[in-house]
Chain A
Amino acid sequence: MATAMKRRLDAPLIITLFVLSLFVFAPMISAFEYSVRTPLKGGYGWDQYTWALKEEEFLHYLLRSGWLAAVTVLITLLVLVPTLTWLHLSQSKVRPLIDGLALLPLVIPVVAFAVGAQISFPEVMQNTVFELPFLYFILALPYAYRSLDIGLNAIPLKTLTEAARSAGANWFWTINSIIIPVIRGAVMATVALTFALSLGEYTLTVLLHWDTFPTWITYVAQDNILGAIAISMMSLIIPFLILTGITLVIPERSAKGRK
């Protein structure tokens, strides 16, 4: 009887997952199929991929976007983990206000953002590509903030922090050796979200006249749409592989991982 009930419950779940998978993967599969077409010879081949990999600019822009995304991730973690830890521990009255402020980037138009950055950033910053990670950080803030907030809500933060401090750990070690490893899942989600968002950011980058991987893809698409799609496919796969690699390399120390 229990098995029969399980089957009945499973059916809607399977259908939902199938429809969702179709929604997510069908465009990607179609794009992939399109990118491996060889219109001149007919049939399929890896021509566009080998072409893209031979392009010098491919690696140049990929690395540039990669390190910009990495710096953004670093800024996000450095700013948000201590701030959110403090907000959770202090039970500050300003927390609802900061919760609200963290959502603002979702409603502020990117154009306004770009103009605002031009006006408010120090000139030294405006002349270097380093202005981008700070702006990417703000764009990723709503997602990164929520993810870390949920992670911190799920642990006995006050007790763990006090236990670490009374055992002799200063704030740096408390956050570094206890809090971050304990909310590892939330930190990894933040890293993935911020990295992916920074790597694919286009509008703000173009408005500020910088060239990164996404802007280069648009440039390529003007002459070679199949090549641009092949590059886009690689830009999807490469970060996925990098993030999977990071997840596998960092040892799982939480209790759940040992079950």
Chain B
Amino acid sequence: MTGNELRSQAWIRPGMLQYAAGAGLGAAGYALNLVPADIAFGLSFVFGGYFAFLAVRLLDIGPATLAGAISGAAMYQLWGHPFASVVFALNIAFSAWMFRRVTRVPQIAEVVYWALFGVPLLWAGYRFGLGMNAASVNLVVVKQAMNTFLLSAFASATVYALIRVLQWSRRSSHLVRGRQFSLRGFITILIVAFTAIPLILSVVRATNQDQAQVELRAATLVDLGAAEMRSEFARVRAAHPLSFARAYRDGLVQGAPNLAAGTADAVFDAGAARYRWVDGKPGGEGRHFVIATFNLNDAPDATLRAARLWLPWTLVEREIEHVRSLGSVGVEPGYGRWPRHDVIPVSGDADAAAQTKAPAADAERRGIVLPDLPGKSLMQRWRAGAVFREVRFPEATDTPFVVHAGLAPQIGTLETSLFDTMLVATLLLFATPMLAWGLTSGLVKSFRSLPPRMAAVIDGRPEDATAERPASVFVEVSSIEDTMMRFSEAIARERAATANYRNRLEDAMHASATIFYTMRLRTVDPAFNRLARPDFVSRSVFEVLGYTVGEALEPDWFESHIHPDDMAVLYEELDRRDELLLREGRWRSALRLKNAEGQWRWMSSEMFLPPDAVVDADENTVEVIGVLTDITERKQAEEQMVHAARMADLGVMATGIAHELNQPLDIIKLAATNMAERVKDDDFTKEYVGAKLDLIVGQVMRAARITNHMRLFGRADKQPSTDIDVVGLLAEMSELLDSQMIGRHISFRLDLPEDRPVVSGQTNRLEQVLLNLIVNAMQQIEEMREGLPEDALRMASRITLRVRRAGGWVRIECADAAGGVDPRIADRLFEPFVTSRPEGKGTGLGLSVAYGIVKDMGGRLSVENLEGGATFTIELPAADPVTPPAREAAYGE
């Protein structure tokens, strides 16, 4: 069982029960969303969201999403647009997925959701779908993000508390054992609750003020006396059964239930309400549309200040339709073209409509255009009173209607410090849980509900992991405690074990069979690096090579102890070394050093540029770490393995080689017999004997070539690296191979390029690789063609060796048509002892050795199944990347 599978287990059993629970929680959320529970500064919808987040914690992804969709539907019903509902359902689905699959901290899921999806979706929906102005949308988005974050925290706290209560109710000893863990979790909850929540509420209040303070700046508002106000209110109420005023008064408008009957009167009495006429004047008939606006900052008490105009879209639209149906002229046609921050140019002046034919200029003349502050920050615009909530109602007719409700310059009543607080709160809101998380590692654990199976695996009881899950959630909750305790203990043990890690590492460094050293290399003028000397050499140089540290640090020690052949190679590589070190941070080579007893030891030489290496700016040097490891035994073993593989290939070819040698011997014998017959009969000429002797000498040379080739190929000693003419090498090899192929009835083709590419390396090594590939192909063909019909047999019995140039590389392909490599072992084909042959028929060494040889030559060996067979490709760096001479010139023809 994987970790994901473990974590995906929810508390309630999967299936219909989960969906039923999801539906139940969703229904609860839906119902509570409709309840006008404006508990604190507009924290409406709190219960709906809370239940949805409870579902996230308790249920699987699908059921939780169902709960979110159901509870979010209430918003659609209330507001009449689907944005909030869709975004909320998506939010719950994502949170549930994150919680089950990625993280056990729902708040992290919230942050990720809002960063990735919530902010862009909600912003786009409100800005483009509803046409709200950008500044207002920003506020809404921030508020919504914080709302859900808070609700998620509430839900987590509830579940956590539930666990505690369950444990206490069971008198569980885990409570005692888990004290430290519990304390941490509790502290975390406290931090979230008492730090973040008040800050969130401050932000919410700020946004509510944005909604509540309506158009004080607009000089178009008409101040009416309380009596007139009351009268107008009554008239509108009577005229428009579903007017704002009535809806507001009756508490139908979600979030504004406090203005029950009588409360509105109190507002009017306080002079805190104003009416605005879109067109017409107070008491006018049929030509006006009224929005009641309340200057709630002037309201007499806190209860009223808490109330605000929350515009429900459906009601607004209905009201507009109603006004239109009354035949109201409504608004002037030009409004739709006005700048974004324009206000509605209405006033008590009867000529207002006539004066606003040139709306923008007229509005400016009357000083009612609010400052537009392009390029200014949200805070600056807020402070200047230019942040507006804009509600735009698209019109099919020529009478676009725009309602602006926003903050006015008299924003002084909205303390600037409050906005500052809001920004700080926004930061702290997200930072606080993270901080708490970091400070108390128990936070993460406290939110995690690891099932007992994971604990079983950790404890080394895998058989228990497959046992049936405990039926009771209580058992599982208790075992979470156990698991966490075991985690804590394991971590403590690990810390204790690594307490003296550094000291032990240094001891190990000095005592190991590896020599460590440090050296400063120049980052400029790398040519000087040839003269670089180690600054430090570990004491293990004595164990490994028999020298003291002092000796190893002497000047010229390295030069006087390195094998002369390797010295030349090393000097050739030094430039590449510096480049690799500075670019990739690592360089590796192998060389021979003479030990104190005068024996050559193979050493693997590696140099590293530490990740935190700092270049000395004064001297342009950087310190690198070098490691020398004695690999003599490994080298010897490798050599033996290479030799063994080579001998194995030769063994496969022995019969063919014997045949190849027999041919010239046969001819020699026949020629000698013929000559002897003539001599015996005294029936010969000088020319005849001369021709026979020439023939015999020619055949002896032929046999000698074969034996020489075999001798060179078979010897184990290391040849120097030279330029290899690939075409020439294949030509020589074909002498050996032809008889093999003929004897095995295999068609052997060489497909060679016009030029003669050259690679660098040891000839017998490359030959070994080629021979191994060919022998493999031969064997494969012989094994697979048994029982094949003749045509198929002919098709299968062919091997093609193809040589091509590809950029700076030389590609040598060995292709057969013998069925290809078994896909089951294709990935491991170049590992030692991997073979597809029947037991006893293959050592499994050949290809791994070939792979190593090609890699040592700086190339690659790969295989793919093509055209019914396997194609092995050797890619080697060309030693003559410049365009070579034409074929004729190369052959000297």
A and B found bound together: no
A residues with CB within 8 A of B: none
B residues with CB within 8 A of A: none
